[in-house]
Structures are given as C-alpha cells and as structure tokens.
Structure 1
Amino acid sequence: MSFLLEYWLSPKPIPVWKRPLSTALIHIGLWGICFALLLVLLQRPWFAVINLLAFQLLLVLVNQAKFDSLREPFIFQDFEYFTDALKHPRLYLPFFGVARTIAATLGFIGAFVIGIALEPSLVATLTPPVFILVPVVLVLSGQQMVRWGLRRCPAISCRPAEDLMALGQLAFFYGYWRMERLTRQLDSQDTAFLNPPVRAPESLPHMVAVQSESFFDPRGLSDNIRRSVLEQFDTALSESCQYGRLQVPAWGANTVRTECGFLAGLTAGQMGIHQFNPYRLLANHSIPNLVGYLKVAGYRTLCIHPYHASFYQRDKVFPRMGFDEFIDLSGFDDSQKSGQFIGDLAIADKIQALLETAGQPLFIFVITMENHGPLHLEQPGPNAHEQCYHKPPEQGCEDLTVYLQHLQNADLKIRKLKDSLVASRREGVLCWYGDHVPIMEKVYQKFGEPDGLTEYFVWRTPGANKAPPVQENLAVNELAVALLKYADLHQSNQS
C-alpha cells in the first residue's frame, strides 16, 4: 500500500520494480522503523498501519497542492511548514483547501476513536518482554535495511522533481535529510563581500534595497492590462543606472531562497542542499554577506519586514548577518494594512521617517508583504476594472485584478522612495526587485504561464554626468554586486 500511494505523487516516481533495489530497501526500512515507533505509542498494530498510511496519504495530497502551485514536489525541508501552517494558517491552508483540511481533520479524529475502540491493545495479550522485543527487532531490521540501501543508492542531484522520480517518496525524503545533516557549510570562498572599501562616512550614500513581494511586470500576459499600472516603475527604469530581468530561484513562494541569494550572493550550486531553505543552516552559522560588508564600511543596517520576526527564523539569522535593527510586524498597526497585510505605502512612510532622522549612512533592506497571497481570499475594489484594464476582464481574472490593485501601490511606493532619497541630506541608491512571480493558477491557464523571471532596477539620486541606463539581465546572486557598483562601494577581493 505504501508503494501504491506513490502512484498519485506529482511528478510520479518510476515504478518500484524499475528503480534500484537500494531505494526499495531504504523505503521498507524507514517504513518498518516508523511502524515500530507507532506500535509502541498506540499498542495496536492494525491501527498503527492505518495511521502510517494515512499520514503518507496526507503527504501525497500536500505534494499535489505544492506541485500545482509552485511547480516543485514536497521535500524534506518542507516538513517545518506543518508547524508554520499552525502558526500562520492564512499563508498555507487556502492552497491546500479549507474543505480538504476539515475533511482530513475529521477523518483522522474519527479513525482514531474507532481504532482505539475496536482493536485490543497488545499489552493485554502479550507479555511485556515480547511486546518490547517486537518493536526492537523491527527498528534494528529497518536500520540494517537502510544501511544496505545507502551503499548503492543513487546520488542526490538537488533537483527535487528528478530526485523524487528516481528515488521514490521515502528514499527521497531520507536522502534530503541525510545530505542536509552531513553538509553544514556553504561554498562562499569566491564571495564579493570581503574587504569593504574605506570611505569617509559623509561620502557614503544611503542605500535602500526593496524585495517586493511577488513583483513582476504582468502586462505581457494580456493587452487588456493598462500600461499605467506600472507608470512609476517605467519612469524609474528610464532614470535608472541599470535595469533588466532577474533570474530568481523561486516560483510563487519560497521567498527566502531569493532573499538569501541577494544578501549572500550565492548560487544554488554553492548552497547545495541548503538552497531550499538556507536559513535552517544560517540560524546557527555565519557567512560573508552584503549586510556585514556594509556594516564594516560604516553603515547602520536595518531590515523592515512587516510580518512575524520568527518566520523563517529571521530573528536568529538577521543578527548573525549584521543587521543592527529588525523592524517586524510589531512596528506597524492594523490601520496600515492594505488587504491582508501591511501596505507598501506604510513601509514607504517608515523609510521616509528613518531617512529624515538619520545621523549616519543607512542601509535599509525591505521585504514587503502587501502582494503576498492567497490572492483569492480578497475581492477586487469597486473601481478596479477601470483602473487596471482597458475593458472589463474575462471570467477567471479575479486574482489578477486583486494583484494589479496591490501592484499599483508598489508602483506608488517607488516614487515615494525616490522622493525620500532625493530629499535626504546625502546621495541615495535604490535597488528594487521581485522575489518571484505570484500564484495565479487560473490566470496562467487562461493567458499562459510567465517565464518565472522578475524585474529589477538600480537607481541613484540625480547627479552630474549621469550615463544612460544599462539594460542587463542578472541572476539574483549578482544583483548586490551591481548595487555596490553604483554606490561606489564595490571592491575586488583580490589585493
């Protein structure tokens, strides 16, 4: 039954009889260990079997929901999202489905009650030594099977879809867990964030870097979308030092991957198994990064993220990176929301106040939330169609309309940030980029999927001898170096 459930995974693994025997040994060994642990806890073998299969079925359903939304299967590193879903249900449960969640919960409770009532406990039928011996033998046998399987198990490629198809579900989970446990360092030898230049504090420009939630240019999806939706963005591109399209390691979610790529300047290959959630490692390990580089150069470093500081363990990671201050959700109030989350314009006001009172050069890194899904939990405003489209949109565009409304606020935020930097007492540099495209399944079914790239620009306050903007596509791990270049703060590591 456990192997049969793999048939409903997306993508579907190779049939077990066509996979290497090693993957089957790992699967059976792990299943036996889990069964033994449940047997000790529940004392009822058939009830333990049913619970174990039910949990595997839940993982299959979660895998389907994730693959449909994010084009990636459920991986071992995602298990911590189960606790996040309890803490922040609005971010997760709508994608799994409220009805599916309620049905799974009621089904589990009902099965638990029936299982306890109908199946007698082994403690009542077996002597204590025999009851203890059975799970011990199962655990030892399972461990040995896993050891045999590891000897010839195919190597992990860190391409989740390929690994799931090659290994099967349990060996796939185990391989990612084992690799993460054995690999506790990131390859940061060629980092650009060493040897910051020595500059007089008064010559350092303010720097604001905005990771705009789900920001990309959607006007290519349909000619019906008004160009004015991103009017200020278009102006910023024409005035920028450099702009282009940005390759990001995320689709629809997993903001932390893009975030770490920008701050640490590392490729997915350099992060290896930690590319999927690098903060699981960086909560306890420090590496060279943009924040520490600028702090040594003389900056006061701040992060603004209007959400819970503990999410993704940012409250542990950011002090290690070198942030002097982390302004989280507690720095705002409900009156500053736009839709489900704190609005972009409220963040712009916060940045303006910080720049007005700054006594030293500031580096402000912003992680916005306004455009975070689930978009289908909101309804378009009364004038949304007139503001966003040339003519009323087709059915199935509700998520797009909500997205465009929030995108207009992000667009206005660009102008406010530029104005705030111009008004400050020193020069300023603004870096703007999107972390990933939004989740809009119905919209993409109608108009076609975007290519997954987002947009970026680096803008500097007006000065003499300004050159025409450079158009260049980048990977997100290259963007911070471009930012330092236009702030006159990039220095080669070679000396």
Structure 2
Amino acid sequence: MPGWTIAAVSGLAIVALVILRITGGRPFRPLRNDLPDVAVALILWLSLALLTGRPASSALLWVVLAAGLLLADHTKREVLREPIVFADASELLLVFTHPRFYLPYVHPAVFYGIGGLLVGATAWLFSVEPPSMPGGPVLSRLIGALLLIVPIAAYFWRPSLNVMAGVIRRLRPTGDPVEDAKTLGMLGSFAAHTLCSRQERPARQAACSFGIVTVPADKPPVVLVQAESFFDIGRLDPSLPSPLTEYQACRAQAWRHGRLDVDSWGANTTRSEFAAISGAAPSDLGLDRFNPYYSFARRPLDTLAARMRRAGYLTVCVHPYDRRFYGRHKVMPNLGFDHFIGGEAFDSRRGQLVPDEVLGAWINDFIARETRPVFVFAITVANHGPWAAQAETDSPFAPMLGGYLDSLMGTDRMIGQLAASRWLNEDGGIFALYGDHQPSLPVLLNDGAHIGASTDYFILDRTRPAGPRDDIRVDQLGRALAGCLKEHIPLPDRLRG
C-alpha cells in the first residue's frame, strides 16, 4: 500500500476508536477494553478493503458508520433514556420506510447536512482511490468474502455458536447494555449480545408458558386495548380537573385498575405489547427483552391469545398501521391470533395515523357482526409522537403537554365508545385498556414530573362490582384479565341463549 494510504487508514482507525469510546460512554477506558471493539472493527474493515481493494475508502466508510452510531445512540439516550442495543439493528431500514417515527428527533442540519457531506466524501474517495491491496484481485476478494461468510455461517450452526458463546462469556458480559458498552466497547457488546441471545433463545422460548385460561360458559366478548403513549395525566397535578372523563368513569367502575409498571419509556411499544399477551417478564426473555419481535417471537408461543383460541374464541389482533411494521405480520400468528388486521382495513394512506375513534368504531362494528365468541387485541397508533408544541384543547394541562393532549383526548373518546357499546353492557363483555409507555415529553424527561415511568390500566366487567386499586407489572396484566374472565358472572339471558 502507498504511504498515504497507510497514514490515512491509521488516522481513520484512531478517529473510529475515539468515536466508539465516546459512544460506549467511557472515553478514557483502559486499552484492554478496546480489544473486542478492535477485533470486530478490524474484521469489518479488512473484509471490505479486500473486496473493494480500497483500504482508505473502506476505513472512511466505517468511520462514517461509527459516527452514525454515535448520533443514533446520543439521540436515543436523549429521547428514550436508554442506549442503542444490538436489537436496534432491526430498525435500521425502518428509519427510511417509516421516517416520521425517527427523523423528527434528529436535527435536519445534522442528518441531511453533515450526514450527506460524509456520505458524499466517502463515495468520492471510493471513486478516486486506486486499488492498492496486496495479492491478486481474485484471491483478495475470496479472502474478504470468507471473513464475512465464515463468522455468519458459524453463527447459524449450533455447535460453533455454542463454542463462540462460551468464549464470549469468558469476557463476563452482564447483559446490561450500558455497562457492557463501557467494558466491551459498543461493537464488542453488540457481538456478545447477538451471540449469547441466539445461543440461549431456544431454551427461553420453550420455557415461555402463559398457563391455564378458564372461560365461562357464555364466552363473553373480550377486548384488550393497548393505548399508544397513554397514562393518566391527572397524576401530574391531582388538584386540577382531568379532561379524561371517559377514562375516569371506567376506572371508577373497573373490576381492577391501577399503575402499570412497564419496561420502556417514550417508545419500544413491542415490549409492553408482547409482555401483556405472553405473560413473560423481562428476565424470562434475557437479551431478547429489548425487542421480543426481533427473533424471540418468530416461532409459536404459549400466550393468552393461544389459550383463548384453544378455549373456543376467535382471536383477532388489529393495529391500524402498516402490518409489516416491526414484523407484526409474521409475529401475530405465532402469538395465537387467527387474524391480524392492519392499516389496509382502514383505507389509510402511507404514514397516516388512524384516529382512535375510527379504531373504536371498527371494534364495535366487528363484534356486532361476529357470531362467534371473540377476543380482540387492539393496538392504537394515533397518539404516537412527535406532537405539536401547542395544544388546541382547552385544559389546565395544555401548557405542559402541548399537542399530546389533543391526541390523548381522541383516546379518551375511544374509551367512551367502547364503554358505551352493546357488547360490553348488554352482552356482558370485558373491556381492558392500558398504556404501553409514557410519551417522550420534556415535562416527563428523566422523571421531571416525579411520577415515575409507569402507565395506567383498568379491567372493566359490568357484571362485577368495582374493585380496589391493584398496581401490577405489564407482564401480569394478561393473567389478571384471565382471572377476570375465570370469575366472570354470565348474564342470565346469555346462559339461556
């Protein structure tokens, strides 16, 4: 290689290492903690350099990607209060297919300006740098391809995976992404978590068991709603009148209600979604707890929906958005749902968020038409951020919540639709609702409102008297709903029917 190439590669390697140290949260760590990062980065750089024959351009490309990783990690820590994790790789394409959920949180000058400049510089260098790797081009490309193919093949072959996972565990990863990034480096922790999660996944999947679900003779309609970014805003200031009148009425009459301890803040809705249906706690999922839909739920599992289907219910999941988002179109059948209804049923344009009131009307109409006993799991989306800075709703909470309050009121109106439905009041149905996580709002950031990170839930059964407040974890919610179903008191006319 020419001297300028060696100098450029060396300089870029130092820049990349500094970026990775900053991303890992420990810029002045001992050199031994850089070894996992260096090993992964060296394999990636060498493989690309051998495949293209351009070592300096390959080094610049990986520096740009490292800078992108730093930006993503910084943004996620600021917005969601947690770092980038290995499972976030599954969301890389979602940034481009569903940009409204990601790009508003990054300044356009940084993403399009600096990002575009770096990508352009990399493309230019690839076009002008002459091939300078030693050896023939055929042999170089073969070795470069093998540097990628061999580790990937070993990852998918169980005996070699067990060996690699055993070696990785000698580095003593904790499973905590913050601590492992400090001690193993960001790339090192990604590699460790990817290997260990795949190695232990089959045993964890086999142990995933919801348990017995007993249904009454009349098999009443059951509706479970996961409300996007929902929590009881009255907790922010109990002295103010809450505008969530429909929610308050349901909570006052509910068989059970209370705080819901969730494993996320601001996003990562699939964590609460999976926990409620599966009954699996984060400790049951291991490293797959960061995104259960990434790999864990890609095989049939024992869940609330699966048990209810076995008991004679038609199980339906409805999410009025792109059915492929987070791979739900592949996951929902594995969670026990007979049908998964996406945005195609709502005539929504690409990227459009279907109002909660429209979803509420769909649920009521669907149950009214269906002759079989039904279990509907609805996942709302209309209250997803970002929100307008100013609220149109007239309320004392408007100054602190902004446009979030407007979409939250749509959720409250949907609650009123379902609470007034025939299937609930005349057919003796059960209606449960919970929030997946709190919204990413400045007033709530880092618990600025001093209310913790929990959301709220209720389980409403008109045949049962109002019960006490019961604070639970989200993975206990499905079993609480099953408990309500087991103790449900059938209406006399339903029994005669």
TM-score category of the 2 structures, normalised to the smaller one: 0.7 to 0.9
Q: What does 1:137-148 align with in structure 2 at a 5 Å threshold?
A: none
| Counterparts of 1:429 and 1:330, CA distance in 2 | 27
In the TM superposition, residue 74 of structure 1 has moved relative to its aligned partner by: 0.6
State the one-letter code of the partner of 1:197: T
1:483 to 481, 484, 490: 481
Tell me the number of residue pairs that the alignment of Structure 1 and Structure 2 aligns.
464
Asked whether the 8 Å contact 2:50–2:143 carries over to 1, the reply is no
Query: Normalization by structure 1: what TM-score?
Result: 0.85
| Alignment check: 8 A CA contact 1:206 1:421 kept | no
- 1:218: which partner in 2? 233
Match of 2:4 in 1: none
CA distance in 1, matches of 2:147, 2:94: 32
- Alpha-carbon offset, residue 161 of structure 1: 1.6
The corresponding residue for 2:492 is none
Aligned residue runs from structure 1 range 21-420, under 5 A: 21=32, 23-122=33-132, 127-128=136-137, 131=140, 150=167, 153-185=170-202, 187=204, 193-197=210-214, 199-200=216-217, 203-222=218-237, 226-334=240-348, 341-375=353-387, 378=388, 380=390, 383-384=392-393, 387-389=394-396, 393=399, 397=400, 400-420=401-421
For 1:171 and 1:488, how far apart are their aligned partners in 2? 48
Gaps of 5+ in 1: 491-495
| Counterpart Cα distance in 1 of 2:131 and 2:378 | 56
Aligned-pair distance for 1:110? 2.3
Amino acid at match of 2:479: V
Gaps of 5+ in 2: 1-13, 155-162, 489-497
CA distance change for structure 1 residues 360 and 133 in 2, over 3 Å: closer, same or farther? closer
Give the equivalent residue in structure 2 for 1:426.
427
Letter in 1 for 2:25: K
How far is the alpha carbon of 1:126 from its aligned partner?
5.7
With normalisation by structure 2, the TM-score equals 0.84
**Counterparts of 2:60 and 2:298, CA distance in 1:** 38
| Aligned-residue offset at 1:358 | 2.2
- The 2-side partners of 1:149 and 1:114 are apart by 42
- Secondary structure at 1:342 match in 2: coil
Q: Does the 8 A contact of 1:268 with 1:275 survive in 2?
A: yes
> Which one-letter code corresponds to 1:357 in the other structure?
R
Map Cα deviations across residues 417-441 of structure 1 (whole Å, 9 max, x no partner).
0111456652111111000011113
Classify 1:132/1:443 alpha carbon distance in 2 versus 1 (closer, same or farther; 3 Å).
closer
Whether the aligned pair in 1 keeps the contact of 2:64 and 2:119 (CA below 8 Å) is no
Give distance in 1, aligned partners of 2:277 and 2:105.
Answer: 29
Q: What amino acid is aligned across from residue 230 of structure 1 in structure 2? A: L
Contact 1:261–1:477 under 8 Å retained in 2: yes
Separation in structure 2 between the aligned mates of residue 282 and residue 158 of structure 1, nearest angstrom: 16
Letter in 2 for 1:206: P
Residues of 2 paired with 1:137 and 1:472: CA distance? 57
Shift in CA distance, 299/424, structure 1 to aligned 2, threshold 3 Å: farther
Cα deviation, 1:436-459, whole Å, max 9, x if unaligned, reads 011113664895464110001111
- 1:398-477 alignment, distance < 5 Å: 400-421=401-422, 426-441=427-442, 444=445, 447-448=448-449, 450-461=451-462, 463=463, 466-477=464-475
Native 8 Å contact 1:345 1:410 kept in 2? yes
The residue identity in structure 2 corresponding to 1:13 is R
Q: Identity over aligned residues, as a percent?
A: 28
1:308-364: CA deviation from partner (whole Å, max 9, x where unpaired): 1111111111112221221110111349x9x95111110110011012122121101
Change in 2 beyond 3 A, CA 1:15/1:106: same
